[in-house]
Amino acid sequence: MSTVKSLQAYEEDKLIRRAVERELEIIGEALNRILKIDPSITIPNARKIISLRNKIIHGYDEVDNVIIYTVATKHVDILKEDIEKL
């Protein structure tokens, strides 16, 4: 999210918000499928990521922009590193 420098900018840009949410949906779905194929694969916080995907897709409660922004700016890089280690 190099083009979005703050939570406020993120919240003001609906296109970016929807794109980020969609990417998190895809990541969550991919993890879900991976774990169904091979449950022995260990990816930290996989269940939390899948749960986030479900909340975004099914609209459980309202999507919290702060949570999505934090995941996108702080946790996706960590997940990428974990996956690269596999």
Domain boundaries, the chain: 7-85
CB 1 within 8 A of CB 24: no
- Closest Cα partner for 31 from 17, 43, 18, 22? 43
User: What residues contact 31, with CB distance under 8 A and at least 6 apart?
Assistant: 43, 46, 49, 50, 53
Mind listing the pLDDT tens digit for each residue in 10-43?
Answer: 999 999 999 999 999 999 999 999 999 999 999 9
Residue 72 pLDDT level (bands cut at 50, 70, 90)? very high
Q: What percent of the chain has pLDDT over 90?
A: 83
Nearest in space to 82 (alpha carbons), one of 46, 54, 53: 46
Closest CA to 49 of 61, 62, 37, 34: 34
Residue 2, pLDDT score = 61
